[in-house]
Amino acid sequence: MKLQKQTINLRFISLCLFVLAVMPLQAQKKGTVIEQIVAMVGDEVILQSELQYEINRAKAENQVAVDGNIHSQVIENMLMSKLLKEQAIVDSVIVTEDEVERQLDQRMSQYLRYAGSEEKLEQYFKKSTAEIRNELRDATRDMLIVERMKEEIVKDVKVTPAEVRTNFKEIPQDTLPLMPEKLIIQQITKKPEISEEEKDRIQEKLRNLRDEIYGGASFATMAVLHSEDPGSANKGGELGYTSRTGWVKEFADEAFSLKPGKISKIVQSDYGFHIIQLIDKKGDKVNARHILLKPKIELEYKQKAKNLLDSIRTAILNGETTFEAAAFNYSDDKDTRNNSGVLMNNRTMGAYFQKPELPPIISRNLEGVKEGELSEIFYDDQERVPMYKFFKIKSRIPEHKANLDEDWEIFENMVLTKKKQEVLNDWVAEKIKDTHVEISKNISREGFQHDWDSN
């Protein structure tokens, strides 16, 4: 228990370092802070504050080799990220605002867990959670863009079963770790309906806002005052240049049909109801702003969804249908219903979760549930679209010594990661040759894997 508390404290310290480092950078972007540039990669810069933060974070999270030169490892990782971001701009690699918001959801959930409560988090930083979230948004977007660019470079890398077995045989058996318990989890979900009266209320409000804008009010001002999209409201609803695939279909179809300055009809998506104003078009991308209003879900419709899910759960328990068939026929979650309801681990891209990897709301609702059993039904309002859910533990592997039979996925990913890193290193070595790179003379080159001064 003491060790767990120390781990959580360490993570919270890491969080503090991250937020404290990002906040001055946001101010710097607004032109209020001038500080030393320690490196440039193309048009991308690395500031002294960024470098110091990354060094502190690497120490806190033990992300660098114990016997290595921590400064060299950190600065080279940062140089590689800037190089990847430069290439991402050239290749028009994008991430959607929805992806950014989902990543922020996960981060904020982690941070609140480490801090202990929302109140403690806000007291420490003297900012609201909304302000912290907004100030993490750009850094989160950059991180996702870099990861997307990496994926593009290594997308064709594969491993064979023979390579996995050979790699496993080369590992000394007495060094194989003890693996924690692992779970495969299935889910069935049901979204409460929205009443016609509530839909009418929301649409009437949007019509009134649109009339005000037609009457001379600023769309951006109306977005700041009324939009319920946390990612864009404080920016006047502006979403930035985005390709058609960067938005949900209903939104994209309407946005791309507009002429600059024109305002859309009311659009309904999974997120709620929107009105959209096109700002500009550039090639296959458009920049738009929107106002989003989210309908309130009435108690009657919540109860209806819960009752329906309860009848599905009862049918499974009575043997009238299987979990897999029920997930396919009735679940509202499009990401899992065609996969027997199985949740995917975004970190490993596999089906198994170690307990610490589970979101808190899942951990709580699986407490005491055994392999093959169903959880109780609960309301998950942490989803972007709130819904009722219940889970099944499809498989449980107890704590054990690592082996190929039970941990193939881990050893396969180990070999795949190694091969991808080799391909990425080769790409970096070639890219450096035709990219303008400047590094401060005060930065030691000792321990660099690549010759960053070669051009």
CATH code, domain with 52: 1.10.4030
- Cα 301 to the center of its chain, rounded Å: 30
Domain end residue (candidates: 293, 309, 339): 293
Say if residue 391 is in the same domain as residue 434: no
78 to 33, 114, 132, 221, 377: CA distances (angstroms): 21, 26, 23, 38, 45
Residue 135 lies in a domain: yes
Say if residue 187 is in the same domain as residue 133: no
For 86, residues 6+ apart whose C-beta sits below 8 A from its C-beta are 41, 42, 43, 44, 435
State mean pLDDT over 144-164.
Answer: 94
User: Is residue 111 helix, strand or coil?
Assistant: helix
Residue 276 lies in a domain: yes
State mean pLDDT over 60-75.
Answer: 64
Residue 263 lies in a domain: yes
**To the nearest whole percent, how much of the chain has pLDDT over 90?**
47
Residue 453 lies in a domain: no
Say if residue 235 is in the same domain as residue 367: no
- CB atoms closer than 10 angstroms to residue 73: 19
Give the pLDDT confidence score for residue 32 in this predicted structure: 46
Say if residue 203 is in the same domain as residue 315: no
Say if residue 152 is in the same domain as residue 46: yes
Residue 175 lies in a domain: no
What share of residues in the chain are helix, strand, coil (percent, to 5)? 50, 15, 30
Residue 163 lies in a domain: no
Say if residue 378 is in the same domain as residue 426: no
| pLDDT digit string, tens, across residues 72-127 | 888 899 999 999 999 998 888 888 877 887 788 777 777 777 777 777 877 777 77
Residue 230 lies in a domain: yes
Confidence of residue 289 (pLDDT cuts 50, 70, 90): very high
- 214, 231 in Cβ contact below 8 A? no
Say if residue 308 is in the same domain as residue 251: no
Residues 162, 93: Cα–Cα separation, whole Å: 34
The CATH number linked to 264 is 3.10.50.40
Say if residue 123 is in the same domain as residue 21: yes
Say if residue 150 is in the same domain as residue 9: yes
Report the candidate in 453, 315, 442, 451 with the shortest Cα–Cα distance to residue 390: 315
124 to 131, 139, 351: CA distances (angstroms): 13, 20, 37
Say if residue 420 is in the same domain as residue 342: no
Give the pLDDT confidence score for residue 376 in this predicted structure: 96
Say if residue 227 is in the same domain as residue 137: no
Q: Which helix (H) or strand (E) holds 122?
A: helix 118-125
Say if residue 372 is in the same domain as residue 416: no
Residues 246, 89: Cα–Cα separation, whole Å: 15
Q: What is the DSSP letter of 376?
A: P
| pLDDT digit string, tens, across residues 161-213 | 999 999 999 999 999 999 888 899 999 999 999 899 999 999 999 999 999 99
- pTM beyond 0.75: no
- Residue 104's domain comprises 2-158+412-439
User: Is residue 391 helix, strand or coil?
Assistant: strand
Does the pLDDT at position 432 exceed 70? yes
Residue 302 lies in a domain: yes
Report the candidate in 103, 380, 95 with the shortest Cα–Cα distance to residue 240: 95
State the average pLDDT for the chain: 85
Number of domains into which the chain is organized: 3
